Chain A
Amino acid sequence: EVQLVESGGGLVQPGGSLRLSCAASGFRFSGYWMSWVRQAPGKGPEWVANIKEDGSAQNYVDSVRGRFTISRDNAQNSLYLQMNSLRDEDTAVYYCVRNEAWGQGTVVTVSS
């Protein structure tokens, strides 16, 4: 069974940083593109970033490019999202996603 477990969310001030982690199990992690998806309060889900199976390519939504970095450690079956220069509008639940499989999400709140 595919399991994706996010951690690392919390309350941070504007301009601050957070690092999200996702522990994957139940499938061959190194064989899949992985993504981060977020959902802000009252809004639809938004794809944030993805990373190729071997980590050699990454893509980002325009609103986070240059501020967020997606990475992975295939030896540890782990996905990461380093979020810098956080803004109020980054407040959301962040999900680790493999194709149609989602984790339970971790809440990020950016507020002073």
Chain B
Amino acid sequence: DIQMTQSPSTLSASVGDRVTITCRTSQNINDWLAWYQQKPGKAPKLLIYAASRSESGVPSRFSGSGSGTEFTLTISSLQPDDFATYYCHQYNRNFGGGTKVEIK
């Protein structure tokens, strides 16, 4: 079974900060990874698919990179609407443990 390690679990940041979240897998998953944003009481919202492709309508400040076993979600300039929990997801398999982005 492929293990997903997402870090950090919590991140305190200010509006305008550059934020980076990392997801590492125990085996090579090529680019079969997606990133989601979730707010309380809502379904997960797709941000990035195939590791680096932006979903239509997602602000350009969100970007994804990586392949193989290490992946990164970057928010270039954090906005008030971005305070939420973020998850990485290996296609058709496990999720990372989540990163809660909080206001500093």
Besides the contacts A100-B46, A100-B91, what 4 more A-B pairs have beta carbons closer than 8 Å?
Answer: A34-B92, A45-B44, A45-B95, A100-B49
- Given A44-B85, A44-B97: A102 touches B44 (CB 8 Å cut-off): yes
Instruction: Say yes or no: B92 contacts A99, CB within 8 Å.
Output: yes
Q: Which of B50, B55, B93, B94 has the most A CB atoms < 10 Å from its CB?
A: B93
Query: Looking across the interface, which residue of chain A has its beta carbon closest to that of B47?
Result: A100
* A contact patch SS: strand
A98 to B98, CA, bound (A): 20
Instruction: Say yes or no: B95 contacts A50, CB within 8 Å.
Output: no
Instruction: Please report the number of residue pairs spanning A and B whose Cβ atoms sit closer than 8 angstroms.
Output: 49
Query: Looking across the interface, which residue of chain A has its beta carbon closest to that of B46?
Result: A100
B34 at the binding interface (Cβ < 8 Å)? yes
Q: Which of B1-57 contact A (CB under 8 A)?
A: 32, 34, 36, 38, 43-44, 46, 49-50, 55
How many B residues face the partner with a CB closer than 8 A?
Answer: 20
25 of the cross-chain contacts (CB-CB < 8 Å) are A33-B91, A33-B92, A35-B92, A39-B43, A44-B97, A44-B98, A45-B36, A45-B38, A45-B44, A45-B95, A46-B95, A59-B93, A93-B43, A97-B92, A98-B92, A99-B32, A99-B34, A99-B92, A100-B34, A100-B50, A100-B55, A102-B44, A102-B46, A104-B43, A105-B43
Which residues of chain B come closer than 8 Å to A104, judged between CB atoms? 43
